[in-house]
Amino acid sequence: MLSADVNCGKCGSVIYQMRMLKSIKDALRGTNFRCPVCGTALNPSDFAVSVAKR
């Protein structure tokens, strides 16, 4: 099964854990486009996707 984590670029905390892949914009909508830990404003177009096998 594939899963993906969306991490904050500033503090590195996990913002969202996906079991089914969806767009970054949809994943961040629930946090009002802010990191819940450090409060940094998150722009969906600034994200890069990297894949690693676990």
Q: What is the dihedral of CA 37, 41, 43, 46, to 10 degrees?
A: -70
Q: What per-residue confidence (pLDDT) applies to 41?
A: 92
The pLDDT assigned to 24 comes to 85
Please, which residues bridge with residue 34 across strands? 41
pLDDT tens digits for 14-42?
888 888 878 888 888 989 999 999 999 98
CA distance 51 to 16: 15
Q: Rounded to an integer, what distance in angstroms lies between the CA atom of residue 2 and that of residue 8?
A: 20
State yes or no: pLDDT of 2 exceeds 80. Answer: no
Name the more confident of 2 and 23. Answer: 23
